[in-house]
Amino acid sequence: MQAIVQTSYQGIDALQLTTRPLPRLNPLAVRLETRYTPVMPYDVLTENGDLKQLRPVKLPIVVGYGFGGIVREVGRLRNQHLLNQPVIGVQPAGSNQEQLVSSLPPLLFPVSQGVSLASATTLIGGADAAYFAFKRSHLQAGQTVLITGASGSVGSYLLQLARLFHVKTIAVGHSSRHDFLHSLGAEQVLDYDRSLSAQTLSFSTVSQLIDLAGNPQLLNRLAAQLGAVKILSLALPQYHPQHPRQTFSFVSGAILPGDYRWLLSQLAKGQLTAAIQEQLPYTAVKAAQHHLGNTHAAGRILLTYNQEVNELC
């Protein structure tokens, strides 16, 4: 099988397409054919060496974390009903490969009829992070939250979760994404390329700021317009608030298996919608990862594994 492998810390363009053997199936594992993997900033940071202290790894490694696929073989101690079923899950050992052996039963989730596998795959590294942030924020119905990086894979779900729980939202995004942000539930949209004071937004109603962009300069500009607010960031480990009554917290963590099942149920009910910016074949992983930094996000970028491909690009 083919896999996307990181062999150095020289960044995206050093990724390699490598043929690797498939691990043996143990009694608790399942073998699946990969259909989709989400393209995540986490991978780019790892490839650049920016996470060496937080994530020490021994190279080479297969890149990627989440996946969506079809179960083709089931270990004798696993649920045999999984055979030929669409599933999503996480693969800490690297997901960007044509086939996977998953040995983590709690982190493999069947996808119900009525939910596309592509949509379900966007939950990994998207809706899960958004739900984690929302729960940690302790926002209540009727409160207002300001969200930076709102058009990305996490922000697109955070806006929807806020709407679902009757929390008002002000989204920060590029002018080209304002219609997109409104469609996801943003009640007001802030253009970060314009003067903040010139935009008639209800800054006085904001009780919390959730930062998904990790831009200290943008946070400084926003904090100058806000009073006593709680600032919570998933992207910036350290930040010193501009106002003496502002607090800052960096949060990182995972949600529970039951939370993933709840998110899948919300997709099935139409309460949540997957925003997919584009789908590219897995051999276009370099282009896909470059798009994370070179384009204005509109949800999740997915790699696909169901096409005939030969050359890594």
Kindly calculate the radius of gyration of the chain based on its CA atoms and give it in whole angstroms.
20
Q: How far is it, in rounded angstroms, from Cα 126 to Cα 146?
A: 18
Among candidates 146, 139, 138, which has minimal Cα distance to 225? 146
3-state secondary structure the chain: CEEEEECCCCCHHHCEEEECCCCCCCCCCEEEEEEEEECCHHHHHHHHCCCCCCCCCCCCEECCCEEEEEEEEECCCCCHHHCCCEEEEECCCCCCECEEEECCHHHEEECCCCCCHHHHHCHHHHHHHHHHHHHHHCCCCCCEEEEECCCECCHHHHHHHHHHCCCEEEEEECHHHHHHHHHCCCCEEEECCCCCCCCCCCHHHEEEEEECCCCHHHHHHHHHHCCCCEEEECCCCCCCCCCCCCEEEECCCCCCHHHHHHHHHHHHHCCCCCCEEEEEEHHHHHHHHHHHHHCCCCEEEEEECCCCCCCCC
- Could you read off the pLDDT tens digit of each residue along the chain, which spans 313 residues? 999 999 999 999 999 999 999 889 999 999 999 999 999 999 999 999 998 887 788 999 999 999 999 999 999 999 999 999 999 999 999 999 999 999 989 999 999 989 999 999 999 999 999 999 999 999 999 999 999 999 999 999 999 999 999 999 999 999 899 999 999 999 999 988 787 777 766 778 899 999 999 999 999 999 988 989 999 999 999 999 988 899 999 999 999 999 999 999 999 999 999 999 999 999 999 999 999 989 999 999 999 997 544 445 4
pTM: 0.94
Q: How far is CA 288 from the centre of its chain?
A: 14
Instruction: Please count the residues of the chain.
Output: 313
Tell me if 194 sits within 8 A of 187, measured CB to CB: no
Q: What single letter denotes the amino acid at residue 61?
A: I
- Give the whole-angstrom CA distance, residue 294 versus residue 71: 35
Within 10 A of 113 (CB to CB), how many other CB atoms are there? Answer: 6
225 CB burial (10 A radius; 0-12, 13-18, 19+): middle
Rounded to the nearest 10 degrees, how much is the dihedral formed by the CA atoms of 232, 12, 173, 214? 20
Structural domains of the chain sorted by starting position, each given as residue range(s) with its CATH number in brackets: 2-122+274-304 (3.90.180.10), 125-250 (3.40.50.720)
Considering only CA atoms, which of 150, 156, 153, 158 is closest in space to residue 133?
A: 158
8 Å CB contact between 226 and 240: no
